[in-house]
Amino acid sequence: MKHLDMDYVESLIRRLQTIPENAKPKWGKLNKEQLINHLIWIVRHSMGRSKSVPFVGNWFTTRLFRPLMIRGWLPIPKNVKMPATMFRATQQEQGDIESFHALLLDYLNLVQADEFVPAPHPLFGDLGVDGWEQIHIRHFEHHLKQFGV
């Protein structure tokens, strides 16, 4: 099982840097800039620093889907339509790979100092530090696969 640590972050950033600016994803409609903004948003959200989005989960997503996703027994589906409010929020976060890198280092520092207070996930609810770690890794890997890196 992978861990969201310094080695993983450095590998993630290197892989994101290899995506050409005009890359076409294998599925979905994100371009590289939108992808980076999306990843910035979810990390900022997990840290309680993003524009708030309403909880859109339910019993199924919190009790059944969440453990299957966190444990890796269920892949993140391709072409999932995010609720419009969530998509708009993800695109309000602007940044580049360097600002994403700095954000991830801040995230790691908070976790290491035991000062990370996780916000609830918009679909899965309260995940805790370990749940967010696994969701982030699975989410990052999903999008890296989307762009073939």
Q: Is residue 127 part of a domain?
A: yes
Q: Is residue 27 part of a domain?
A: no
Q: Is residue 24 part of a domain?
A: no
From CA 14, how far away is CA 134, in angstroms rounded? Answer: 20
Arithmetic mean of pLDDT, 18-28: 96
Domain count, the chain: 1
CA distances from 147 to 5, 10, 25, 133 (A): 22, 18, 5, 22
CA distances from 65 to 33, 73, 94 (A): 29, 10, 30
Report the amino acid identity of residue 120: P
pLDDT band of 51, cuts 50, 70, 90: confident
Which domain, by its residues, includes 73? 6-18+38-146
Q: Is residue 101 part of a domain?
A: yes
Whether 90 shows a pLDDT value over 90: the answer reads no
Smallest CA-to-CA distance from 145 within 59, 46, 55, 35 is with: 35
Q: Is residue 28 part of a domain?
A: no
- CB of 18 within 8 A of CB of 149? yes
pTM (2 d.p.): 0.93
Q: Is residue 23 part of a domain?
A: no
Q: Which residues pair with 121 in a beta bridge?
A: 125
Q: Is residue 10 part of a domain?
A: yes
Q: Is residue 33 part of a domain?
A: no
Whether 52 shows a pLDDT value over 90: the answer reads no
Query: 124: which DSSP letter?
Result: T
**Mean pLDDT computed over every residue of the chain:** 92
Whether 89 shows a pLDDT value over 80: the answer reads no
